[in-house]
Amino acid sequence: MKRARFLVVLLLAAAGLVVGGPAQAANLLANPGFEAGSTSGWTCPAGTAVKTPVHSGTYALAVTPGASDQGQCTQTVSVRPSTTYSVSAWVQGAPVYLGVTGGSSTWTNASAYSQLSLSFTTSANQTSAELYLHGWYGASTYYADDVVLDGPGGDTPGGPGVPGTPTVGTVSDTSIALSWGAAAGTVTGYRVYEDNALRATVPGTSTTLSGLTACTSHSYSVTAYNDKAESAHTPAVSATTSGCTSAGLPKHALIGYVHASFANGSGYLKLADVPNAWDIIDLAFAEPTSVTSGDVRFNRCSATECPGVESDADFIAAIRAKQAQGKKVLISIGGQNGEVQLTTTAARDNFVNSVSAIIDKYGLDGLDVDFESQSLSLNSGDTDFHNPTTPVIVNLIAALKTLKARYGAKFVLTMAPETFFVQVGYQFYGGAGGGDSRTGAYLPVIYAMRDDLTVLHVQDYNSGPVMGLDNQYHTMGGADFLIAMTDMLKSGFKVANTGQTFPGLREDQIAVGLPAAVSAGNGYVSPTEVQTAVTCLAHGTGCGSYTLRGGPSPALRGLMTWSVNWDRYYKWEFQKAHRPFLDGLG
């Protein structure tokens, strides 16, 4: 039956009776029932076409997920803006997921073929949609058949092709120059989108966008148009105006946490004994008096817990000595046990005042935000990371902006989120529902502070497998994971099913976060593998099978580690390997 229906569509098209239009609906998918005897038309690395079990016809899709992947199959089709589409598939397995990136998703456990259905509405500028099917990590084989994406096609006859990916040219304090490859077909002109909004319409393949603010980052994509249609968007590229105030850091920095408020198996380390190799020293940790108070206290380790701990006077003297050497000393707030939820404006104000008191008492250079556990999450329906509505997010952003304004341009602000709160947002976003509300929850904070953020060093450890921009899952512990996760921060990425794109950061704002030794955290990476990854990220060489979507980052800020104490315990392996390497990176 499915082949008969598909044949009718083809015959009508040949007769000129099927044209793209709101009143017409057709299955937009290629090889929707896998009757080609293959996965032709689909991006489906682990999938095969099988003859049993099928829902109808001769073939169906079979995929067996691996231990570190979900067995995802995708197909991208052209669609029309502001249009509603329906999606369905007959599936069998435990579990099976059906969804549209930027739209809805659904799933089932089914021992026999069962139909999944959903609908989605494209955004005002959306010209393509990606449909996906997948199972679950290490689960049994799932099957799919008779997949349908119904609605008007986006390819209007005579419409232009997609332009070449834009490249960034001359950048000044107030302008960014862009150029791109010409689109195929008849082209009237090109539309340039800045941060998902139309910024300029030009007749040729280049433009200079002016009137921008110094040291601000933006994401750009381009479409071609004529009197018939507008093309799909090019991949987005990020660019930043010049005029940034220097944080006083070396081009490539070594960043480390010092256990200042507690002792563990690595032993206590006096601040004066931290080697000069470290450029940013994060004092771990300041913690709140209660989860929702916003009242943060920095209680230095006691002599009982940390024999040999220095006095406050000696501690402050050591801070001054480090600063005299050009080092930056920050207070890190949160950590594994320091859960902070700024649920009210009163908590927000307490946070600002108490953090300021710590900075002033010790004369610190700034703040490191290391919110973990349940500190950040998104309320249901909070899907626009540009304009978040969840109180704990809104209040944290307001608090950080106040602190930045209070201390001025030289205030150093760093963040150390886990991959779950950042890169996992490519696949799942908490406010969109259907999963953990914490996924991607750092994204609105990073975005709001992107022009004030000194360094983002995501913890590339203590992480499960994470999908990269190649739509493959990457597992911690080697160069591949570091490359894929860091490239996402530079390139930017679509945010799950929100229809929005998180723009990449400046390369000097990005560092790679690592455990210093095998005892410091899961996901330890040998110095050789770390340096392979950094060389790839900085110079685009030795990247293995991975292609950098964000391009090389010669100004990549450097490496962060947990922790300086653990590095000392392991005879300074991290520092001895990586300080000379960073100095010679160029």
Q: Which residue numbers are catalytic? A: 372
Beta strands in 135-252 (DSSP E): 142-151, 167-171, 176-179, 189-194, 197-202, 206-209, 217-225, 237-240
Q: What's the CA gap between 68 and 532, in Å, rounded?
A: 23
Q: Kindly report each contact of residues 474-477 with a partner whose C-beta sits within 8 Å and lies 24 or more positions away, as own/partner.
A: 475/68, 476/522, 476/523, 476/525, 477/523, 477/524, 477/525
- Cβ-contact 155, 20 below 8 angstroms: yes
Q: What's the CA gap between 426 and 298, in Å, rounded?
A: 35
Residues 6+ apart with CB under 8 A from 537: 482, 483, 486, 487, 490, 512, 548, 552, 553, 556
Taking Cα atoms as reference points, which of 198, 167, 164 lies closest to residue 181?
164
Residues 6+ apart with CB under 8 A from 144: 60, 61, 63, 73, 89, 90, 91, 92, 96, 133
Taking Cα atoms as reference points, which of 449, 455, 373, 388 lies closest to residue 418?
373
Beta bridge partners, 194, equal 197, 220
**Residues 87, 474, 527, CA angle at the centre, nearest 5°?**
165
Q: How far is CA 379 from CA 100, 343, 382, 436, 437, in A?
A: 22, 12, 6, 11, 7
Q: In 251-263, which positions are buried (b, 16+ CB within 10 angstroms) versus exposed (e)?
A: ebbbbbbbbbbbb
Q: What's the CA gap between 45 and 75, in Å, rounded?
A: 12
The distance of Cα 464 from the centroid of its chain, to the nearest Å, equals 15
Q: What's the CA gap between 461 and 562, in Å, rounded?
A: 10
Q: Do the strands 197-202 and 511-515 form a parallel or antiparallel pair, or are they unpaired?
A: unpaired
Q: What's the CA gap between 119 and 564, in Å, rounded?
A: 51
In angstroms, the first-to-last Cα distance of the chain is: 63
At residue 527, the 3 state secondary structure works out as helix
253, HSE (Cβ side, Cα atoms, 13 Å) = 25
Taking Cα atoms as reference points, which of 469, 463, 471, 421 lies closest to residue 445?
421
